[in-house]
Chain A
Amino acid sequence: MSRLIKFGMMAALAAIALVPLAPRHARAAEMTPAQQKRQMFRRGAQLWPIYCNTCHNARPGGEFSPTEWNMIIMHMRTQANLPPQDANAILEYLKASR
């Protein structure tokens, strides 16, 4: 029975993953691209020390090139299960702060 409960729990988690969730940032559509970039930079600057330091010392943007950061943040999305809007904000901050 306990295994059935575990299977049920996993199925529920999978359902959560596959159900499209309502967008939380509808206001972003009203902003110009430059304003969106600035907002992402600010969000990234706030999240970068928190998310990265959870596991390891946060590494500054100058350590890697923008192309390398693209791949590293993609990798960290997997490694730490980062939500996409937060991962994109941190990426924007790291690339802009080089």
Chain B
Amino acid sequence: MRRWLARVGALTAAAVLIAATAPIIMADDLTVTRGAGDGGVAREREIRDIKSEIHRLEQRVDQLENENGQLKKSNAELKQNADKLQTSTTQQLSEIQSRASAPPSPADFMDAMNRFLGRYRFTLVGGAAGSYIYDRKSNTNTFALDLEPIILWQLSDKLLFEGTIEANLPAGSSADYQLPVADFQYFLNDYAELVMGIFDQPFGDWYEDQSPFWVNRFITAPLPYNVGSLIPPTEVGLQLRGGFQWGEMGQVADYTIWSGNGPGYTNATCGSNTPPSPLPDCSTTTALVGDTLVSDNNIRLNTHSPGFGGRFRVYPLPADSNFGRLELGASTFDGKWLDGFWLTSWGVDFNYFRDNLQARGEWIQTYRQMPQGLGADNRQGWYVQAGYFLTGLQVPLLPSELDQYIDRLEPLIRYSGINQRATVLGNVITTPGIGFTGSPALYAPHAREVAVGLDYWFAPSIVWQNELDLELPRAGGFYSDTGQAVGAYPNDRAFVSQFAVGF
């Protein structure tokens, strides 16, 4: 600006000088014209130079005026930008102030917590249950408690550790602790995963998917998985598993293959077979027909060769099908339980649900080779069950205020059975307990049971369950170690009530 003013001043001074000298020059021109000669020519040249200078100065003035206009324009734009910047800054400041004074959103809070905790990858889920059991045969009234926390620890995007601790307080006993699951799960790719450690036996649908308190619609297990289950509940070893979509959305299939310690039996003493037992008398400690599988995890067992198993499951209906959801599965589990003697087993299962209806069922067959010419210890087990949510049911003559309670009710029915040639007296649990053991009176070599239930769901994972177990007249058979008949008190009844929470 200062330079520009200096230029304008210089030009002004030049203009004044020209204005002052012009009359003199013009007078001189007249003189030159009058007195022609060499001096006149020089004078003309000088005048032309001066005119040229005047023209140049005029152009310079125009140029400066133009520059002045541009500077004014730039100045206006700068001012406008400064105003905008000030408005924006004020707005941002206001936003920051309001954000600072407002409470954080859940997502922001979670982000902040994760930043604070660093590599936080640990959580606790599981279930807890308290139950009341009445059994007519043993005239037992008892309460039982069970807690099963599941620890999940994510070590990376591909590696997860799962540990389940089972703590229960069975009737007439102090607290009991077990470790049914403790394994690492490593995802090899989208279609294959490796599981290493102690895991639920992947045979059938029961142990892996249906055994948690709040998942099982009933309180007790069906007979094939109850007292003296046909298949060991846990295994120690390796699994390879995965799932894939083969058709439309929801049409998937999955597989599991595994190898582990294999089956083990309690190897009870046989020494007092007497008529009417069909079994031979034996005087040494040996395995028995009817001996039960080791039902705890078999980490302590030193079996004679690794057992192995496979399971394949398919969902034939697409997700948007109007026919509901159908699951079909097949399993096998095989292993040597003694040198040269195999336990071979297989099973098929189904699960179907549509709207309020859910039904599932399973068939299991086992074949155990026996020493000492005792023949095979064949066993069969099965169950089929159905439940129906009363959601939307309109009961005539009932006040509409009760609809909200009726919506939460789920009546249930289950029929299950088990066949085996005999059982061992010491293996039959006489103390009631929830979960796998159920009502002890309902176990016999040839047992048939009908269970009816009524669940009231407070929330998707909080339920009050009531179950009535009815032993059918078919129950019976022999104790293979005593030869005595089982089922002296046939047609037993039991009532079980349980409050279960999944967390």
Contact = CB atoms under 8 A, between A and B. Distances in A.
B414 to A, nearest CB: 16
Nearest to A66: B110
Given A78-B162, A86-B249, 15 more contacts: A9-B310, A10-B308, A17-B255, A21-B191, A50-B325, A56-B212, A56-B461, A56-B502, A57-B461, A59-B460, A72-B125, A74-B154, A78-B185, A78-B241, A81-B243
**Dominant SS among interface residues on chain A:** helix
A54 B315 CA distance: 11
A31 interface: no
A27 B471 CA distance: 58
Interface string B237-266: 000111111000110101111000000000
Interface in B307-328: 308, 310, 312-313, 319-320, 325, 327
Given A21-B191, A74-B154, A80 B209 contact: yes
B456 to A, nearest CB: 13
Given A6-B310, A74-B154, A85-B245, A54 B325 contact: yes
Interface residues of B, number: 60
B121 interface: yes
A31 B461 CA distance: 37
Interface of B: 106-107, 110, 114, 120-123, 125, 152-154, 160, 162, 185, 187-193, 195, 208-210, 212, 214-215, 240-245, 249-250, 252, 254-257, 308, 310, 312-313, 319-320, 325, 327, 332, 334, 344, 351, 353, 358, 457, 460-461, 502
Contact of A13 (B107, B160, B208, B312): B312
Interface in A80-98: 80-86, 98
Contacts of A67: 110, 114, 120-121, 123
A79 B209 contact: yes
A16 B242 CA distance: 10
Contacts of B189: 18, 20
Interface string A14-45: 10111011001000000000000000000100
Which 3 A-B pairs give the minimum distances between C-beta atoms? A81-B254, A81-B243, A57-B460
A57 B190 contact: no
A80 B208 CA distance: 9
Contact of B123 (A43, A71, A83): A71
Interface residues of A, number: 47
B241 A55 contact: no
Given A10-B257, A56-B215, A81-B243, A71 B154 contact: yes
A62 to B, nearest CB: 10
B250 A13 contact: no
A7 to B, nearest CB: 8
A82 B334 contact: no
Given A54-B351, A74-B154, A24 B240 contact: no
A58 B214 CA distance: 12
A7 B346 CA distance: 14
A64 to B, nearest CB: 8
B461 A14 contact: no
B354 to A, nearest CB: 10
Contact of B242 (A2, A17, A54): A17
Contacts of A78: 160, 162, 185, 193, 195, 241
Contacts of A24: 245
